[in-house]
Homo-oligomer: A and B are copies of this chain.
Amino acid sequence: MNDTFLRACRGERVEYIPVWLMRQAGRYLPQYQAVRADVEFLTLCKTPELAAEITLQPVDILGVDAAILFSDILIPVEAMGVSLKFSDKNGPILNELIRNKSAVDRLIMPDAEDDMPFVIETIKILREKLKDKVPLIGFSGAPFTLATYMIEGGGSKNFLHTKKMMFQNNRLFNYLMEKLTLTVISYLSVQIKAGAQAVQIFDTWAGVLTPFDYKETVLPYLKKIISELKREAVPIIYFANDCAGILKEVKKSGADVIGIDWRIDIADAIKKLGRRVVVQGNLDPCALFLSKEEIEERVKDILWKGEAAKGHIFNLGHGILPETPVENAVALVEAVHKYGRKV
C-alpha cells in the first residue's frame, strides 16, 4: 500500500507530497453522476456497496494518495433523531429546529454500531478493496458545525440563532455541544475500529465566530474529541474553514494535521501554526478553472511555501465544486506529484 499520506500526517519523511481533494468523490465526476442518477443522496450514503464504489472512483480516476469515505457530515445528526433532506440547490434542510432544552433532551445518543451500521460496512468493504492502493480516511462534522445545522435548520447567512443560543443560553448551548461531542467521539472511534486509517473533523462554520467565542465554546470540545481519539493512534486532521483569524486557537486543538482554507497564504498560516505542525491545503477550488499551466504555477507556489511546515499534504482549500472539469483535477494531482517530489 502507498502509505505516503499516512507518513506525511505523522510528519515523517516522504518521497513526494501526497494529495487528496475534499469532496473528491462527488458531483464533478460523471461516474458519480451515473450512480447517483437512480439513487437519492442519503440512500447512497447508507448503501455500503454504492458508497464504497463512489469512494473508490477518484482513487483510480485522479490517482490521489488517499480515499475518503463517501458520506455526509450530517449523518450523525440524523442518527441523533433529526431527520433531514437534501436539495441540490439549497443544501441540507433539517425537519426539526433544536432551539430549546426539551429538543436537546430528545436528541438520541447514537450507538454508532447499531445506528450507523452502514458506515462500518462501507469501511470494511473499502479496506479490502484498497489494500494494495491507498489509505482510507474517515470523517465527521465537528460539534460546532453540527450544532449550527441543528439550530438554524440548514445553512445560514449570519448564524444568528446559533449565536443567540450561545450568548443568551450558554448552558443550553454547552449541553448541546456536549451531546454532539460524545456522538462525534463514538462515531469516529467506530470508524477507526472498522478500519479508517486517519480521520478528518470538518468544521465548516468555525470561521463565523470571533476568536474569543471560538476559544470559549468550540475549542474545549474539539480538544476533548482529539484527546479521546489519540488513544486510537491514527492521524487526526482538523479542518476549520475560514480559519485565518482563529489559527492561534486552532493550533491548540491537538490535531496532528491542520487543514487550511484558501483565504490565507499558506506561508502565513504556517507562520501562525509554527513549524512543528503538519498542514493540509490550500488551493482555491475555483483555481481548477484556470488553465493547466496556471494550475501548475499555483501548485508550485503552495508546494514551495509548504516546505516550511513539519509536513504538508496537498489539498484544496474547500470541497471541489460540482462544475469542475475532471481533466483539471487530474492535472492538479499530476502537478503535485511532479513538483512535490523530494530530491
A-side interface residues toward B, CB under 8 Å? 158-160, 163-164, 167-168, 207-213, 242, 244-246, 248, 262-265, 268, 284-287, 289-290, 294, 298, 301, 321, 323
In the complex, are the beta carbons of B264 and A244 less than 8 A apart?
Answer: yes
Determine the chain B residues whose CB is within 8 A of the CB of A163 once the complex forms: 284, 286, 289
Query: A158-B285, A286-B158 known; A265 and B167 CB under 8 Å?
Result: no
CB-based closest 6 A-B pairs: A245-B264, A244-B244, A244-B245, A163-B286, A245-B263, A167-B290
Separation in Å of the A268 CB from the closest CB of chain B? 7
Separation in Å of the A157 CB from the closest CB of chain B? 9
Query: A158-B321, A244-B245 known; A286 and B207 CB under 8 Å?
Result: no
Separation in Å of the A248 CB from the closest CB of chain B? 8
In the complex, are the beta carbons of A212 and B167 less than 8 A apart?
Answer: no
In the complex, are the beta carbons of B289 and A164 less than 8 A apart?
Answer: yes
CA distance A263 to B212 in the complex (A): 9
Copies of this chain present in the complex amount to: 2
In the complex, are the beta carbons of B244 and A284 less than 8 A apart?
Answer: no
Q: List 18 A-B contacts (CB under 8 A).
A: A158-B321, A160-B286, A160-B321, A160-B323, A163-B286, A163-B289, A167-B286, A168-B289, A207-B263, A208-B263, A210-B263, A210-B284, A212-B265, A212-B298, A242-B263, A244-B245, A244-B263, A244-B264
Q: A210-B263, A245-B265 are in contact. List 5 more A-B contacts (CB 8 A).
A: A158-B286, A163-B284, A210-B265, A212-B298, A248-B268
> Nearest CB to that of A318 among chain B residues?
B158
CA distance A117 to B167 in the complex (A): 44
> Nearest CB to that of A287 among chain B residues?
B167
Determine the chain B residues whose CB is within 8 A of the CB of A209 once the complex forms: 263, 284
> Nearest CB to that of A163 among chain B residues?
B286
Separation in Å of the A259 CB from the closest CB of chain B? 15
> Nearest CB to that of A166 among chain B residues?
B286
In the complex, are the beta carbons of B262 and A210 less than 8 A apart?
Answer: yes
In the complex, are the beta carbons of A286 and B164 less than 8 A apart?
Answer: yes
Determine the chain B residues whose CB is within 8 A of the CB of A287 once the complex forms: 167, 210
Determine the chain B residues whose CB is within 8 A of the CB of A323 once the complex forms: 160
CA distance A248 to B272 in the complex (A): 14
> Nearest CB to that of A214 among chain B residues?
B263
> Nearest CB to that of A167 among chain B residues?
B290
> Nearest CB to that of A317 among chain B residues?
B210
Determine the chain B residues whose CB is within 8 A of the CB of A264 once the complex forms: 211, 244-245
Determine the chain B residues whose CB is within 8 A of the CB of A248 once the complex forms: 268
Separation in Å of the A241 CB from the closest CB of chain B? 11
Determine the chain B residues whose CB is within 8 A of the CB of A294 once the complex forms: 167
CA distance A244 to B323 in the complex (A): 28
CA distance A284 to B245 in the complex (A): 13
